[in-house]
């Protein structure tokens, strides 16, 4: 079965995971692989440092910032007069404080708008960093509980409809083949499915040390070759074990990516990683 089949089942793919697991890499590789499939792709970056524009020169990359989106939203919802009276940053703080999560809902609202656009077949969202992914995706739910009317309420309702519809949106979780990241991926997956009701696509395990076991004993004990082989074997065994454990605990398909040593991501390294899923 085609492992990338999921790219065509829903228009929006939100890439989520803890900080440091490689969300941006995975977003880039998914976009590159989708383009090779002939899909028209839009990449959305949230708040962070813009980096995918450089890595995907032939792809449309859009930056969404919560502050800018909220300012635009308030402007189009009759607050422009007030904005003039208070400093624009001040009014945004006021609204965001009065109703936590409103900035997230406005960003999700923008993603929903892009989903409606006919110009793209796939919208890949490089999700928010750190532990923010759950809060971000839960924003619609918590706002519906606290705000019982008005445009924000209807916005949240529409966003929730998109998030919970598996034909429109799915979340691609990214993790590393190590104990803590796997535990966290499992917890996040349960939280997203149970509390948000969002459909989960495959889990991407990034930086997997793949390969067969080396015959360490072919080198003399204590020699650099022996130590390096033992180190490599231990790491590969751990990665296999953690991938297996992830499979045991999460009934989701897994996609693996090898690690890219130490240096910066480049156009070439993204393309090379995409070869693993969709050969050029």
Helix/strand/coil for 82: helix
Interaction between residue 245 and other proteins (CB under 8 A): yes
Tokens representing residue 156 in the block: 């949240």
Q: State the CB neighbour count (10 A cutoff) for residue 141.
A: 18
Task: Give the nearest distance from C-beta 131 to other proteins in angstroms.
Answer: 5
- Please count the residues of this chain forming the interface with other proteins, following the rule CB under 8 A: 78
User: How far is 255 from 117, CA to CA, in rounded Å?
Assistant: 28
User: How far is 75 from 95, CA to CA, in rounded Å?
Assistant: 13
Helix/strand/coil for 163: helix
Interaction between residue 116 and other proteins (CB under 8 A): no
78 or 279: CB nearest other proteins: 78
Judged by CB under 8 A, the stretch of 55-63, 118-126, 182-190, 196-204 that binds other proteins is 182-190
Strand boundaries in 74-168, DSSP class E: 122-126
Interaction between residue 184 and other proteins (CB under 8 A): yes
Interaction between residue 50 and other proteins (CB under 8 A): no
Residues 96-115 that bind other proteins (CB under 8 A): 97-102
Interaction between residue 280 and other proteins (CB under 8 A): no
Residues 134-163 that bind other proteins (CB under 8 A): 135, 142, 146-153
39 or 272: CB nearest other proteins: 272
Residues 1-40 that bind other proteins (CB under 8 A): 18-21
132 or 168: CB nearest other proteins: 132
Q: Would you say the C-alpha torsion 2, 199, 24, 111 has a positive or negative sign? A: positive
Instruction: Find the binder of other proteins among 72, 227, 275, 280 (CB under 8 A).
Output: 227
Asked whether 126 and 45 are in contact (CB, 8 A), the reply is yes
Interaction between residue 71 and other proteins (CB under 8 A): no
User: How far is 267 from 145, CA to CA, in rounded Å?
Assistant: 44
Judged by CB under 8 A, the stretch of 30-38, 108-116, 158-166, 181-189 that binds other proteins is 181-189
The b-or-e profile of 82-121 (16+ CB within 10 A means b, else e) is: ebeeeebeebbeebbeebebbbbbbbbbbbbebbeeeebe
38 or 262: CB nearest other proteins: 262
Task: Give the nearest distance from C-beta 11 to other proteins in angstroms.
Answer: 26
Interaction between residue 82 and other proteins (CB under 8 A): yes
């Amino acid at each position: 079965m085609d492992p990338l089949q999921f790219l065509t089942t829903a228009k929006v793919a939100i890439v989520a995971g803890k900080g440091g697991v490689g969300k941006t890499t995975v977003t880039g590789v998914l976009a590159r692989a989708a383009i090779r499939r002939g899909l028209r792709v839009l990449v959305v970056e949230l708040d962070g440092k813009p980096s995918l524009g450089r890595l995907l020169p032939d792809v449309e990359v859009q930056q969404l910032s919560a502050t800018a989106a909220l300012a635009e939203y308030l402007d189009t919802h009759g607050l422009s007069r007030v904005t003039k009276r208070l400093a624009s940053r001040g009014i945004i703080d006021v609204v965001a404080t009065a109703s936590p999560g409103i900035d997230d809902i406005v960003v999700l609202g923008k993603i929903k708008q892009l989903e409606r656009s006919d110009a793209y077949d796939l919208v890949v969202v490089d999700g928010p960093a750190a532990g923010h992914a759950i809060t971000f995706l839960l924003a619609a739910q918590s706002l519906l509980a606290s705000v019982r009317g008005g445009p924000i309420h209807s916005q949240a309702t529409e966003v929730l409809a998109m998030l919970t519809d598996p034909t429109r949106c799915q979340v691609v979780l990214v993790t590393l083949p190590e104990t803590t990241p796997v535990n966290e991926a499992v917890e996040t997956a349960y939280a997203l499915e149970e509390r948000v009701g969002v459909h989960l696509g495959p889990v991407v395990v990034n930086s997997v040390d793949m390969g067969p076991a080396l015959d360490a004993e072919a080198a003399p004990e204590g020699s650099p070759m022996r130590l390096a082989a033992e180190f490599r074997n231990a790491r590969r065994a751990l990665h296999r074990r953690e991938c297996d454990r992830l499979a045991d605990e999460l009934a989701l398909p897994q996609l693996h990516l090898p690690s890219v040593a130490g240096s910066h991501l480049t156009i070439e390294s993204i393309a090379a990683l995409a070869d693993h899923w969709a050969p050029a």
